[in-house]
């Protein structure tokens, strides 16, 4: 048995801190929905690793695919193509709506968003990119410039031409109808009025998530994405939709764009596509592909269209479709939401429960009336959940600690779901400050 104390000491000595302190439990094994620590603890993983292991850790078909392609078809010169890459592109464009016709495969979500932004700039001949206030798109220059949740301070100027719209946060927005309901249309119109004033006349694209995950599982109001597309069309801009976390069934639809029937000009996928392996995709229209090719678009990276990760992506899509995991996500998501709302009825520290499918957010507050975030309590609650055997939060930044993010594998069983809810309730019961209502 590996020694947790010595392993963690070595980590502190030799590893660069890149965003938050490392968790004290060193993970030595993963299987299905579980993590196993060096100290012998078994932890239920309700965040699918980094919101990525869509069909669970160590899925036997993924393991088999990896072994076969590692032995026979692993990595190629970027200008070469291989059957896994061709078949994955064919499968994705086959299940996506017309208008999302051509794909490139890269390594990370940030890389895919960087590529998408460059595509939009080359196609439009413009350079301004609009993002949402609670967004997260990556840490490379273009992607990071278009995100506003975290990661902007301390590095000097961001990419030029980066502009921000308010996030459609129905829980916290100050834009309200007379009856108190959320007035997102006025908020969006007001946001665009500011963008139009700030713009130098070179608006190229909007980039947005269907659910703003790092910002606190902020779900878009019905009609919001369609309205955003209209604003883009009006200004001759492209719409980029980042489905890093929502893609492939996580939200109860195969793709979140299916929920409203909006077809973006560019779609990016990552996390869920590789089931935790470094694989991402950029999918765009024949028109955008044709024009940018004529203009000599270049995004030439070492691992573009690599066969090994593409073979895994192909298997993940196959399993999701074959095992009807989209419908399962919808069904299990309803049970998850019902369970979380029961907890909200019992504990005053829960201000809001939201999400779609197996992607949920639990807003932790110190006062339901004022909606004041309970940052320190959120940290203690998250730590207590981990002590009890449930990983249900990635509290990497203090701005995020007010919301518990939940995104278990789509393969979660009814028993695992109920057990996770029981652990969540025990953490609430045993953490001072949860404000029991019974």
> What are the catalytic residues?
136, 209, 242, 245, 271, 405
* CA 344 and chain centroid, separation: 24
Percent helix, strand, coil in the chain, to 5, is: 40, 20, 40
Question: How is residue 335 written in tokens?
Answer: 């049970």
| Among 360, 359, 358, CA closest to 350 | 360
Starting from the edge strand earliest in sequence, which strands make up the sheet with 203-208, in order? 102-106, 280-284, 266-269, 238-242, 203-208, 128-132, 162-165
**What is the sign, positive or negative, of the torsion defined by CA atoms of 271, 275, 279, 280?**
negative
* Alpha helices, H only, 15-129: 48-51, 60-72, 83-95, 109-124
User: What is the residue-wise DSSP string for 90-105?
Assistant: HHHHHHSPTT--EEEE
Which single residue is written with the structure tokens 């939060």?
393
* CA 273 and chain centroid, separation: 11
CB 259 within 8 Å of CB 253: yes
Q: How far is CA 192 from CA 167, 201, 243, in A?
A: 12, 13, 23
Cα separation of 312 and 139, whole Å?
25
């Amino acid at each position: 048995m590996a020694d947790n104390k010595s392993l963690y000491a070595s980590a502190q000595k030799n590893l660069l801190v890149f965003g938050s302190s490392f968790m004290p439990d060193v993970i030595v094994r993963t299987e299905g929905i579980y993590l196993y620590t060096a100290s012998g603890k078994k932890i239920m993983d309700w965040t699918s690793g980094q919101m990525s292991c869509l069909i669970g850790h160590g899925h036997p078909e993924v393991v088999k695919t990896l072994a076969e392609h590692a032995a026979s078809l692993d990595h190629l010169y970027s200008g070469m193509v291989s059957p896994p890459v061709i078949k994955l592109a064919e499968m994705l464009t086959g299940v996506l709506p017309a208008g999302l016709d051509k794909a490139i495969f890269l390594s990370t979500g940030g890389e895919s968003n960087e590529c998408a932004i460059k595509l939009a700039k080359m196609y439009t001949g413009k350079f301004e990119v609009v993002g949402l206030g609670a967004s997260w798109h990556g840490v490379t220059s273009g992607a990071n410039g278009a995100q506003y949740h975290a990661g902007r301070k301390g590095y000097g100027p961001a990419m030029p031409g980066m502009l921000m719209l308010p996030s459609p946060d129905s829980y916290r927005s100050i834009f309200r109808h007379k009856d108190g309901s959320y007035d997102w249309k006025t908020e969006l119109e007001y946001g665009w009025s500011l963008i139009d004033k700030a713009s130098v006349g070179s608006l190229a694209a909007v980039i947005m998530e269907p659910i703003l995950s790092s910002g606190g599982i902020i779900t878009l109001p019905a009609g919001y994405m369609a309205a955003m597309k209209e604003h883009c069309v009006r200004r001759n801009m492209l719409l980029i939709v980042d489905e890093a976390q929502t893609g492939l069934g996580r939200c109860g639809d195969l793709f979140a764009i299916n929920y409203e029937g909006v077809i973006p000009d560019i779609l990016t996928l990552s996390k869920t596509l590789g089931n935790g392996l470094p694989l991402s995709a950029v999918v765009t229209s024949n028109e955008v592909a044709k024009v940018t090719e004529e203009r000599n678009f270049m995004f030439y990276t070492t691992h573009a269209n690599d066969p090994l990760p593409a073979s895994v992506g192909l298997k993940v899509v196959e399993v999701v479709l074959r095992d009807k995991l989209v419908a399962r996500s919808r069904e299990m998501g309803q049970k998850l939401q019902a369970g979380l709302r029961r907890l909200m009825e019992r504990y005053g520290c829960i201000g809001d429960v939201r999400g779609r499918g197996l992607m949920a957010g639990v807003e932790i507050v110190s006062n339901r009336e004022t909606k004041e975030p309970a940052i320190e309590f959120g940290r203690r609650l998250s730590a207590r959940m981990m002590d009890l055997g449930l990983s249900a939060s990635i509290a990497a930044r203090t701005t995020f600690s007010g919301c518990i993010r939940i995104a278990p594998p789509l393969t979660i069983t009814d028993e695992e779901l109920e057990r996770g809810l029981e652990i969540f309730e025990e953490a609430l019961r045993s953490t001072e400050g949860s404000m029991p209502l019974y």
